[in-house]
Amino acid sequence: LCRIQYHFGEFGNYSLVVKTLSTSTKTVSCDLVVNEGPINSYLPILFAFLVYMGILAILIVGRLFMKIDTVRNWVYKKLNPRETDRLINSELGPPNTADSDSTDPALHLWSTASRQRLRSLDTFRGLSLIIMVFVNYGGGKYWFFKHESWNGKLHFPSALFSRFVFIMGTSISLSLSSMLRWGSSKRKVLGKILWRSFLLILLGILVVNPNYCLGPLSWDNLRIPGVLQRLGFTYLVVAALELLLTRAGAESGTVETPCPALRDILPFWPQWIFILMLEVVSLCLTFLLPVPGCPRGYLGPGGIGDFGNYPNCTGGAAGYIDRLLLGEQHIYQHPSSNVIYQTTMPYDPEGILGTINTIVMAFLGLQAGKIILFYKDQHKQIMSRFFIWSIVMGIISAILTKCSKEEGFIPINKNLWSVSYVTTTSCFAFILLLLMYYLVDVKKLWSGAPFFYPGMNSILVYIGHEVFENYFPFKWKMRDSQSHAEHLTQNLTATTLWVTISYLLYRKRIFWKI
């Protein structure tokens, strides 16, 4: 009848008035009437930004006061930060750092070579974690802080978990190198890997199945996959891969390679072959596995998606494998696709098949750690290689997606953890790590605060924010459940509390490590 364009505002009330002007010529007019004007839903974000900028200004003024000798001496005497830094730098992680579990007196000969812990890694981890906490708490109920329902643009929240996986891989490279350098046997290190993986998986099952008021957990509807479970299994595979398939001398760079420019890659060819084989298995299962009632290689959301032709095919092979091996009652029952696509099938975004690509993501982070180890103190080499890896991953993503939302060979999909999702998020992860490494560890223009502190206690903050999500002061009853201002206030308050808690724990030298 007519075509009209209009930018509708949130909470506005509108009427579309359609009138027939002439019955003979069938002329129709369409007028849009604003019954109630919309609100500016972005004002709360502006206000929150100004508040945090005010806090930042106060902190800057505080630092200026710290330049006064009398004030500085009094604060240092009260806080004693040197002792805290000594404790932090004794933790596992950076190259040439002592294994705190080591008791061999001979190993203290290495103490003169000890280095400061790379703060950029903890800052990277903390930034990803804190934004993840904010998004999990609701993100102020803004659409751009929500995960994409299926294929599509890579919203900022969709890349957070992948960055956490990426930096976990980087930390694996540094921590294993440190433990082996300080004399721990491979058997002992493997035992630590197995134990830590077990604890992560166990904690994950407890966290994703809160049943505090309904009695004991029931196996009938126990969700098996989850974030910590995937992290635990990914850690197990990547850490064991690094420990068992690293050639002697490869870590120190003494192994001769035909191409010196690739000396951080070629000595580890067994690991690359293993990862490539895993990816081939993932792609074969995704595109070749027969799924009852679904076209082979289906990657859609099911439900009313694809004109409702495949309502029970949510996730294709990935969903089918989870339902077959784990059972429908043991996977996530409310996937992000069920609102828009009205899906009825359960689907778990942390399922079995997607874990393979999570391992690939962690392995790319492992490569970043190798670069730091091989080229320590060679800042230009490290940053240039981060940049090259980012470009390579970006090119692969452009080829896989054809730079489109739906038309590529493999669309970006966080729910499926598609290989294009991995290459795209790793592209940005390398760039982000490059920037943080430059600002925090090279130029020392930024201490990493406040994200450095939750990065030092990441497991505690993640589990804590999940367990206490529905408890005051992290959540309270709101007067207007539709108000962005109230949601944003609540979510930012909860997130800021976790940053404050992690800072206080840092000052008290309390670090929960698994």
Q: Write the DSSP assignment of 81-111 as a string of letters.
A: HHHHHHHHHTSS-STT---TT---GGGGGGG
Q: How far apart are CA 422 and CA 414, in angstroms?
A: 9
More confident residue, 514 or 240: 240
The verdict on whether omega for the bond into residue 411 sits within 30 degrees of 0, i.e. cis, is: no
Alpha-carbon 468 to chain mean position:
20
Which has more confidence, 375 or 430? 430
Beta bridge partners of 20: 28
Give CA–CA dist 512/440, Å, rounded: 24
| Res. 152: pLDDT tops 80 | no
Residue keyed to tokens 């812990």: 117
- Which pLDDT score, from 0 to 100, does residue 107 have? 34
> Active site residue: 108, 147, 155, 334, which one?
147
The reply to whether 147 belongs to the active site is: yes
Is residue 14 helix, strand or coil? strand
Rounded-to-integer distance, Cα 294 and Cα 312, Å: 8
DSSP state of 247: P
User: Are 266 and 274 spatial neighbours (Cβ–Cβ below 8 Å)?
Assistant: no
pLDDT at site 115: 45
Please say whether the beta carbons of 286 and 317 come within 8 A.
yes
| Structure tokens belonging to residue 150 | 């299926």
> Residue 347 in contact with residue 315, Cβ under 8 Å?
yes
Band of pLDDT at residue 166, cut at 50, 70 and 90? very high
* CA atoms in the 13 A half-sphere facing the CB of 467: 13
| pLDDT tens per residue, range 297-352 | 999 999 998 888 999 999 999 999 999 999 999 999 888 888 889 988 999 999 99
Mean per-residue pLDDT for 389-418? 91
CA angle centred on 453, ends 449 and 455, rounded to 5°: 110
Sign of CA dihedral 143, 431, 230, 207: negative
Rounded to whole angstroms, how far apart are CA atoms 205 and 330?
11
pLDDT tens by residue, 107-134: 333 333 334 578 999 999 999 999 999 9
pTM of the model: 0.86
Q: What percentage of the chain reaches a pLDDT higher than 90?
A: 59
